[in-house]
């Protein structure tokens, strides 16, 4: 049995690489998918495909329609979603993806530093698992494959 | 025909009163529902019902289970969701509620200051309507009831 | 028992008035809902609420987000959809509304002149009832309420 | 990961070949499916299987039941739908397929010449991505598979 | 609390009147709905609305599209379905309605003479309740409303 | 706005009366529904309707089909489910009802003495709210209706 | 692309062999599944697994629970259902399976002799395709795989 | 065709080994999945991943979030659920898993000693198949694959 896991959240550091490396170390049969991690490309993809837009809002709208296409296709293929919240960014799209997954019946593993708990309390309450590090998330995934 | 509209978003100013007053002025047959607007009560409701908790995280968890109960029941009853994002707060629960509504097939009207567009671009793209003021949201709702 | 019926289709003649008048003559307990029938208002509603747009495409996009809000809310409330196709217009939104209704498990009554059959053959095949006149559609609705 | 993409729309020119060729050039792991592209065969398939029909309407009904069988089976298997609208035909079945896909939770990429925007504004608003050329549609699909 | 109950099954005797009379005697707050019970009218309704058809099969097709419209609308409104099978007729539409109800999450009460058990064994196994008389079906419905 | 609340759980003491009395004292607009509380009648209802059964297992099967009919109809009508677990009984049907409600998207309030926590830990984790007394459950329901 | 097709209907002649042979001749990539075709085994499977039952009704109930298990598992795996009605038997389970498939969003191909049309008119109206012979059903399936 | 079968129920004896051995003997193409069978590990997994918890209830809550993650992922992948109830334990989570499966449209095979029938009568009534031994459950699964 293979699982597909969507990695939602900030694309400003290399937490996804850490997750993938840990999964490899545990020999977990998991395909990881997620958003475009090249931040500039993610912001520019709308204009790249649709041409220059008249203003920043329309540039954003053009980009988000392509990014949301990617997210919808990959989340439909996924069995589990991991969402990581960091201290710096707004991350409203991460909260949106997390909630979409839950409503579609796919379990959410939430990774967040403890100090963000208050602001994340409603999402924490809906998540299936709440942890603080990518390593703990991998431990939870690993447990799915363990036999006694 | 009556509609029920859930008002998601920050509870730190009186935007909900403005929405309700405008709806009354337009004589719209709408029941508005939403989260507990008394901020302290919203934070304390868990301990009020379940007793004192050992630490702030557990206090938050206790509160969020009661707040999410309220949200789930009222959103299930709603025909439309309005979500307002302001400049100050994290508002991850607002993003979560907005996404839950969309996934359940209920249209979202998003209210946000234009300067938040970049951070909200993925949610904007999923919203049915994006506006900047409560008055515009009410105009959109009013249009549903208009006859030629 | 009351029914709510959504009247999809062109807004360029008074077929909806005919449907409503016939329903009244049959004393049918039906609430009719539908799109904004004032064509100019339907085209202008986006700019009316969101302000002037930089070009016709964006004016259309602004209008369609408000019009689709209205359609989604009213179709969610409806038990049956009637879609009328005439000879003149593109009416792609009518085909879209008809198909949305069917996929949501709500039966479609299709009204069309016989000469349009070829172009409408796939929608005809998915419709629950295909007729040529509003009067026939009302007869079909009336039959739902009849007792032997 | 492989994707299946349904190509809805007119069968009077070779736009599907262009889409497939471009996908091959990008080495995209995509299986394309779609309607019968031989127009005469599509019109005659009902009589071919069910025998001669008494009149053109019944010939159309016979054909559309077989064509809709094909569409339903292949759309159920698909992850994304691309719908292309051209300038010439009614294309109501294309609008129907597009809307069915969206209602089933499958994202729609809409290809249309800009001059059709007004007539397609409600479908554009529901589509996940709106472009003008097959090449742009392939760029959007390609983006799903890209890694940073 | 009121319930709506759909009475599926043969329209050749007065079992529905018996059900309704018994419900009245028990003062049950139930609205009963069901198919057209006038057999000739049920067979002729297609031609009545759509005009004379070229052959009996097309007459049947015309009638069944109107009868299925009625069934779909009324079953969507119902909380429970009662299906009665008698000894004489094919009653394939009754089996179809029963199965539709179950798949939609609405419980089925099956009424049948014991001697039909073998032919009905798969439907019996899917029904929530299997009885032999309308009176037993009403006892089961009455039990829903009882307080200790 | 009115809510309907299903009270699942043991029928051997008067906890439902306490819940209803507390709701009345809080003037909550709630209709409470639930299983047959007369234990003997609940066990005997199958034979009462279907006649004497050959053995205790078939008597149980006859009763459970009628009891499950009642549960399914009333749970379909409910907005919230409260499930109370006590110390004495198996209560597997209570666990079943609780899980059905959650899977249908209806929130669960779980009432249980703290000493049962270990055995109920998986259900607790899926419940929206976990409390120890009917009074706490009513406080949670009351909070849904409060305005600031 | 492979399809799985469930063959519902009578098990008293060899129509399934004919379907499979024709599919092989057309080189169609289809896995056919269906009910147990050994009639005695189908009737006896309940007692074979659960032991002798006290009476014929309970023997039937035991058998149907195992047969319905098989049907549910295999229909969940299927993309299309073919249902064949013959002249001799009650075939209520065939009507039930056909309707379950349709309600689950899987298209139905109905095979029946023309003389059964009247009794099958409501199911015919819900089927995606109605034919008279297994050969025609295979032609319809073959058409799904054809490229122009 | 391969099936995935989830084995819910107590983890205190080796009934799963027996099921798997029997399936192997019958050469059934089945992948069996299920909960963590090492009881201590199942109880301790929460603290292992999340660190020591302040009290037994929170230790249980930590464990159950990881165990429920495993269950949700594996049940989403399964075609059939087998739930075994023994005489000793509370097994409320088994009842919960069984009911979740049924509500999701996956058939349940219930294994229980006959003396538990009364307490399990409502679940028995919802199960597709009720047997007393793992061997009988395997016979039922085997029947799905048999050809006449």
pLDDT confidence of residue C78: 98
Residue E16 tokens read as: 């529905």
Burial G18-52 (b: 16+ CB within 10 A, else e): ebbebbeeeebebebbbbbbeeeebbebbeebbee
Does the beta carbon of A53 lie under 8 angstroms from any beta carbon of chain B?
A: no
Across the interface, whether the CB atoms of A109 and H74 are under 8 A apart is answered no
As a whole number of angstroms, the distance between CA G35 and CA G6 comes to 8
* In contact, E78 and C79? CB cutoff 8 Å: no
pLDDT along chain D (148 residues), means of 10: 96 92 97 96 97 95 98 98 92 96 97 95 97 98 93
Among candidate residues F86, F91, F89, F85, the one with its CA nearest the CA of residue F108: F85
How many Cβ atoms from other residues are within 10 Å of residue D4's Cβ?
Answer: 16
Residue C3: phi and psi, rounded to 5, are -115, 150
pLDDT number for residue D11: 85
In a domain, residue B87? The reply is: yes
Q: Are D47 and D55 in contact (CB under 8 A)?
A: no
CB D36 within 8 A of CB G146: yes
For G16-68, write each residue's pLDDT tens digit. 999 999 999 999 999 999 999 999 999 999 999 999 999 999 999 999 999 99
Asked whether residue C57 is domain-assigned, the answer is no
C64 at B interface, C-beta within 8 A: no
Neighbours of A65 (CB within 10 A): 25
Place of tokens 């070829």: C118
Inter-chain touch B73–F107, beta carbons under 8 Å: yes
Residue C137 covered by a domain: yes
Q: What is the pLDDT of residues F30-67, one digit of tens each?
A: 999 999 999 999 999 999 999 999 999 999 999 999 99
Which domain range does residue C87 map to? 3-35+78-145
Q: Is residue A41 part of a domain?
A: no
* C chain contacts of residue A58, beta-carbon cutoff 8 Å: 58
Q: Say what the pLDDT of residue B7 is.
A: 98
pLDDT of residue H13: 84
CA–CA dist G83, G85 (Å, integer): 7
- pLDDT of H148 strictly over 80: no
Q: Do D66 and G143 touch (CB under 8 A)?
A: yes
Chain D: give the shortest CA distance to residue E33, in Å.
30
Of C79, C131, C147, the CB nearest to E49: C131
Residue C11: is its pLDDT beyond 90?
Answer: no
The alpha-carbon gap from F50 to the nearest alpha carbon of chain B, in Å, equals 38
Q: Which residue, among F109, F113, F98, F112, has the nearest Cα to F138 in the 3D structure?
A: F109
Q: What pLDDT is attached to residue F37? A: 95
From chain H, pick out residues whose CB is under 8 angstroms from the CB of B59. none
pLDDT cut 70: percent of chain H above it: 100
- pLDDT, residue C68, reads 98
Cβ count near E110 (within 10 Å): 26
- In angstroms, how far is CA H24 from the centroid of its own chain? 18
Query: How high is the pLDDT of residue F13?
Result: 83
Query: CA F23, CA F4: separation in Å to the nearest integer?
Result: 12
Measured between CA atoms, how close is E48 to chain F, in angstroms? 38
CB contact under 8 A, H96 and F97: no
Q: What is the mean pLDDT of residues B85-106?
A: 94
Q: What distance in Å separates residue H12's CA from the closest CA in chain G? A: 26
Q: With 0-12 CB in 10 A as exposed, 13-18 as middle and 19+ as buried, what is C55?
A: exposed
For A132, B41, B58, D122, the CA distances from A117, given in Å and listed in that order, are 10, 18, 10, 41
**Best to test chain E binding among F50, F67, F100 (most E CBs inside 10 Å):** F50
Q: What is the rounded distance in angstroms from the CA atom of residue F83 to the CA atom of residue C90? A: 55
pLDDT score of H11: 84
DSSP, residue by residue, E76-109: HT-SEEEEE--SSS--HHHHHHHHHHHHTT--EE
Any F CB within 8 A of H117 CB:
yes
H34 near F CB under 8 A: no
HSE of F70, CA atoms in CB hemisphere, 13 A: 25
Estimate to the nearest angstrom the gap between the alpha carbon of F144 and the chain centroid: 19
Gap between the Cα atoms of E80 and F73, Å rounded: 7
Contact between E95 and G96 (Cβ < 8 Å): yes
The size of the E-G interface in CB pairs under 8 A is 106
Contacts of H10 in chain A (CB under 8 A): none
Q: Indicate the number of domains in chain E.
A: 1
Cβ within 8 Å, pair A129-H36: no
* Residue D40 included in any domain: no
pLDDT digits (tens, 9 = 90+) for E72-129: 999 999 999 999 999 988 899 999 999 999 999 999 999 999 999 999 999 999 999 9
Cβ within 8 Å of residue D117, ≥6 positions away = C56, C57, C60, D124
Give ipTM to 2 decimals. Answer: 0.95
Q: Is G100 on the interface with E (CB under 8 A)?
A: yes
Using the Cβ of H90 and the Cβ atoms of chain F, whether some distance falls under 8 Å is answered with yes
Q: Is the pLDDT of residue G122 over 90?
A: yes
Question: Cβ neighbours of residue H37 under 8 Å, at least 6 residues apart?
Answer: A147, A148, H11, H16
CATH number at residue E124: 3.40.50.450
Confirm or reject contact between F133 and chain B (CB < 8 A). no
Mutation test of the interface with chain B: which of C4, C41, C72, choosing the one with the most B Cβ atoms within 10 A? C72
CA-based nearest residue to A145, from D137, E92, B63, H74 = H74
Which residue has tokens 């909380």? E79
Say if the Cβ atoms of H129 and G74 lie within 8 Å. no
Q: What is the pLDDT of residue D119?
A: 95
Query: CB-based contact (8 Å) between A88 and chain B?
Result: no
Among F140, A120, A140, CA closest to H64: A140
CA distance D75 to C94: 21
pLDDT at A102 > cutoff 80: yes
User: Element (H or E) spanning F62, and its range?
Assistant: helix F56-76
Does residue E113 sit in helix, strand or coil?
A: coil
pLDDT tens readout for residues F121-147: 999 999 999 999 999 999 999 999 998
CA distance F55 to C60: 71
* Residue E17 domain-assigned (yes or no): yes
Judged by a CB distance cut-off of 8 A, whether residue B10 touches chain A is no
Q: How many Å apart are CA E2 and CA F73, to the nearest integer? A: 11
CA–CA gap between residue C59 and residue C131 (Å, rounded): 35
- Residue A148 above 80 pLDDT? no
> Residue H87 falls within a domain, yes or no?
yes
Distance from CA of B40 to the nearest CA of C (A): 34
Task: Say whether E48 and C139 touch across the interface (CB within 8 A).
Answer: yes
For G131, the closest of D37, D41, D49 (CB atoms) is D49
Q: Is E58 on the interface with D (CB under 8 A)?
A: yes
| Two structure tokens written together for A73 | 């296709």
- For residue E52, the model assigns a pLDDT of 96
Determine the length of chain D. Answer: 148
Query: How wide is the angle at C-alpha F64 spanned by C-alphas F62 and F68, nearest 5°?
Result: 130
A60 and B117 within 8 Å at the Cβ level: the answer is yes
Distance, CA of E83 to CA of A69 (rounded, Å) = 46
Closest approach of A116 to chain H, Cα-based (Å): 16
- Among chain G residues, the shortest Cα distance to D30 is held by G1
Taking the CA of residue G26 and the nearest CA in chain E, the distance in Å comes to: 31
In sequence order, which residues have a C-beta less than 8 Å from that of residue F103 and are 6 or more positions away? H99, H100, H103, H104
- The verdict on B52 touching F (C-beta cutoff 8 Å) is no
pLDDT for residue C12:
79
Distance from CA of A54 to the nearest CA of C (A): 8
Answer yes or no: are the C-beta atoms of B76 and A104 closer than 8 Å: no
Written as six digits, the tokens of C25 are 């003559």
Euclidean distance between CA atoms B123 and B110, whole angstroms: 8
Looking only at the bridges linking them, the beta strands covering H129-131 and H80-84 are unpaired
Using CA coordinates, name the residue in chain H closest to B54. H54
Distance CA C141, CA C5 (A): 9
Binned at pLDDT 50, 70 and 90, residue E13 comes out as: confident
Q: What is the model's pLDDT at position B90?
A: 86
Which residues of chain B does C70 touch, with a Cβ-Cβ cutoff of 8 Å?
A: 143-144
Neighbours of chain A (3+ CB pairs under 8 A): B, C, D, H
Spatial separation of the C-alpha atoms in residues E120 and D68, rounded to whole Å: 32
Give the per-residue pLDDT at E142.
Answer: 98
DSSP class of F7: E
């Amino acid at each position: 049995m293979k699982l597909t896991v969507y990695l939602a959240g900030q694309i400003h550091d290399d937490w996804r690489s850490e997750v993938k490396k840990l999964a490899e170390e545990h020999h977990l049969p998991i395909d990881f998918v997620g958003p475009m991690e090249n931040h500039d490309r993610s912001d520019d993809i709308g204009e790249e495909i649709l041409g220059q837009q008249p203003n920043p809002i329309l540039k954003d709208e053009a980009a988000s329609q392509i990014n949301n296409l990617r997210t919808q296709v990959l989340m439909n293929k996924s069995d589990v979603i991991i969402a990581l919240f960091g201290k710096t960014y707004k991350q409203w799209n991460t909260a949106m993806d997390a909630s979409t997954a839950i409503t579609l019946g796919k379990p959410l593993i939430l990774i967040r530093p403890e100090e963000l708990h208050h602001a994340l309390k409603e999402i924490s309450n809906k998540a299936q698992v709440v942890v603080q590090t990518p390593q703990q998330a991998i431990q939870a995934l690993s447990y799915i494959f363990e036999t006694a």
